[in-house]
Amino acid sequence: MEDGIVLTMRGICKSFPGVKALDNVDFTLRKGEIHALMGENGAGKSTLIKVLTGVYPKDAGEIHVEGVQEAISIRSPQEAQNYGISTVYQEISLCPNLTVAENMFIGRTSGKTVNWKAMEKRAEELLDSLGIPARPKQQLSDCSLAVQQMVAIARAVDTECKVLILDEPTSSLDDKEVAMLFRLMRDLKARGVGIVFVTHFLEQVYEVSDRITVLRNGELVGEYEVEKLPQVELVASMIGRELESLSVIKKETATAERKEVLYEAKNLSSTESRPFDFYIGKGEVNGFTGLLGSGRSESVRAIFGADTVTGGEVMMEGKKIRVSKPLDAMKNGIGYLPEDRKRDGIIADLSVRDNIILALQVLRGMGHPISRAKAEAFADEYIKALEIKTASTDTPVGSLSGGNQQKVILARWLLTHPKYLILDEPTRGIDVGTKTEIQRLVLKLAEEGMSVTFISSEIEEMLRTCSRLIVMRDRNIVGELTGDELTQSHVMHTIAGGGGENE
Ligand code: ADP
Ligand code: MG
């Protein structure tokens, strides 16, 4: 292995049933560097780390570590540790009811009589030298989450640690705690530890990392020196471009004159989303865009009351309304097609007909069942209108293709005649033809006066359908684009923020 390199992974492949999570991925870590591993949710970051730490066996590929001649095989986290590879996971796996010192040494004292005095002394030294604000005898649960995490890191680096892996360590830390963690990371780096840093916070990557490896859909996109990769290019490489030959839909409402407001939220917040302001005009199609994990789904879930709403004021057609659960939203004319149709949307065993009438039935109340004849008529109507390909209204929805399932959920909401329809990733994982149909349908509904909020990971699709884009980064709204600004480049620059000057 080259000098100064502590770890190489080459040609790593890993499949799960139905998913190629890693497809021929390379990764190299230098001694004393902080190396960010980036990619949208589902890109394969955690899988790569789990292969490296022996949690999952790899299907193919080679792993080399410094100081070992042959390729190594890592069959368990313990073996990884023996090679000097340690991980601190998102969910801290320490024992809250033990002391800080006990947590640092537990499981590592086997076979020897425990010398508590010596252990506490060693813990004290380590905590001091790493600048971690905790005392050895303190109960771990009395420490802040950030400090607990730092204790986990101290534990990891006290063994012969060459490679330290931090998988989204900052996701629940505040700014001060992040600064503290970064200080610790830089300190370890100076001692020669190679750090793999997984995060989805762009700003943090630029603050602390030396190099970046980007994954997308299980494939390696590239490896870059941080200073040579402007933030906007990082975003572009994470998102990639879908080169689909979709017929271009002519957009009627290219210029967004502000329409009469239908729905407006001020300071709306939920347990999952930070306070935000938002409105949509009558007959407007707008959308939330941003990287996966930027908070776009959480925003619309707050609007629909799908997560617990914690504050804010909401108006519908100028009147104050209260939406604290989905039924409130539905009663006020809001429909919502969730991101994960398998989990939140479709009921696979139920017939197409029963799936279609579901929302209307809920809205009417279970005490007022929709008659079989009515249900049949509704189902027929929408199967025709949306060209749903099904053998009959009786067919279990689970046997339909993904695109047709999605149309069934769309039909479910259209049947309630909402004034405002929220579509979260309505076209993900469905065939290109159906995608285009759904986009056309959205534009047609808007023409007829319905307001639609659309979310898609494909920026091009958003640009084709939306007349206003609300851009999110790290759980905040960071921009709003209309008119001439509705270009791929504007969107990516806004998502990337800062750091774009050196392009
Ligand atoms: P990331 O950490 O970048 O968000 P992951 O490595 O967790 O991505 O996931 C990559 C892909 O592998 C995703 O499609 C995910 O659904 C799939 N995947 C991950 N772990 C498993 C598992 N244990 N079983 C099945 N599929 C998995
Ligand atoms: Mg992950």
Strand 211-216: give its sheet, edge to edge: 85-88, 163-167, 194-198, 34-38, 211-216, 219-225
Closest-CA residue, ligand 1 atom 5, reads: 44
Closest-CA residue, ligand 1 atom 7, reads: 46
Look over the chain and give the mean of its residue pLDDT values, rounded to a whole number. Answer: 87
Of 37-41, 114-118, 131-135, which range is least confident? 114-118
Closest-CA residue, ligand 1 atom 24, reads: 16
**What stretch of H or E contains 128?**
helix 116-130
Is the pLDDT assigned to residue 503 strictly greater than 80? no
Closest CA to 390 of 350, 340, 426, 440: 350
Strands (E), 318-430: 319-321, 334-337, 420-424
Q: What is the pLDDT of residues 194-220, one digit of tens each?
A: 999 998 788 889 999 999 999 998 999
Kindly report the three-state secondary structure assignment for every residue of 131-191: CCCCCCCCEHHHCCHHHHHHHHHHHHHHCCCCEEEEECCCCCCCHHHHHHHHHHHHHHHHC
Mutate to test the pocket of ligand 1, among 12, 13, 15, 19 (most ligand atoms within 8 A of CB): 19
Tokens matching residue 151: 């204790």
According to CATH, the superfamily of the domain at 5-243 is P-loop containing nucleotide triphosphate hydrolases (3.40.50.300)
Q: How far is 354 from 400, CA to CA, in rounded Å?
A: 14
Closest ligand to residue 17's CA: 1
Q: Are 456 and 435 in contact (CB under 8 A)?
A: no
Is the pLDDT assigned to residue 499 strictly greater than 70? no
**What stretch of H or E contains 352?**
helix 352-364
Tokens matching residue 258: 């502000």
Q: Give the atom of ligand 1 at the shortest distance from the alpha carbon of 49.
A: 6
The binding-site residues of ligand 1, defined as CB within 6 angstroms of any ligand atom, are 16, 19, 21, 39, 41-47
Beta pairing class for 468-473 and 163-167:
unpaired
Q: What is the pLDDT of residues 286-326, one digit of tens each?
A: 999 998 888 999 999 999 999 999 999 999 999 999 999 99
Tokens matching residue 25: 């991925």
Kindly report the three-state secondary structure assignment for every residue of 53-86: CCCCCCCEEEEEECCCCCCECCCCHHHHHHCCEE
Domain covering 248-333+419-503 assigned CATH 3.40.50.300 in the classification: yes
* Number of residues that this document lists for the chain: 503
**What pLDDT score does 30 carry?**
97
User: Hey, CA dihedral for 95, 96, 97, 98, is it positive or negative?
Assistant: positive
208: burial class by Cβ within 10 Å (0-12, 13-18, 19+)?
Answer: buried
Q: Which of 221-235, 263-277, 474-488 has the highest mean pLDDT?
A: 263-277
Percent of the chain scoring above 90 in pLDDT: 53
**What stretch of H or E contains 194?**
strand 194-198
In the chain, where the domains are located: 5-243, 248-333+419-503, 342-417
Q: How far is 137 from 437, CA to CA, in rounded Å?
A: 64
Distance 272 CA to ligand 1 centre (A): 22
The β-bridge partners of 472 are 477
Closest ligand to residue 20's CA: 1
Tell me whether domains 5-243 and 248-333+419-503 share a fold. Answer: yes
**What pLDDT score does 34 carry?**
98
Region for 74 from its dihedrals, namely left if φ exceeds 0, alpha if ψ lies in -120 to 50, beta otherwise: beta
Distance 447 CA to ligand 1 centre (A): 39
Distance 139 CA to ligand 2 centre (A): 29
Percent of the chain scoring above 70 in pLDDT: 92
The model's pTM is 0.67
Mutate to test the pocket of ligand 1, among 13, 15, 16 (most ligand atoms within 8 A of CB): 16
Q: Are 20 and 47 in contact (CB under 8 A)?
A: no
**What pLDDT score does 207 carry?**
92
Q: What is the pLDDT of residues 341-375, one digit of tens each?
A: 666 677 888 899 999 999 999 888 888 899 999 99
Strands (E), 317-467: 319-321, 334-337, 420-424, 451-455
Q: What is the mean pLDDT of residues 162-169?
A: 91
Alpha helices in 274-342 (DSSP H): 296-304, 326-331
Phi, psi of 142 (to 5 degrees): -80, -10
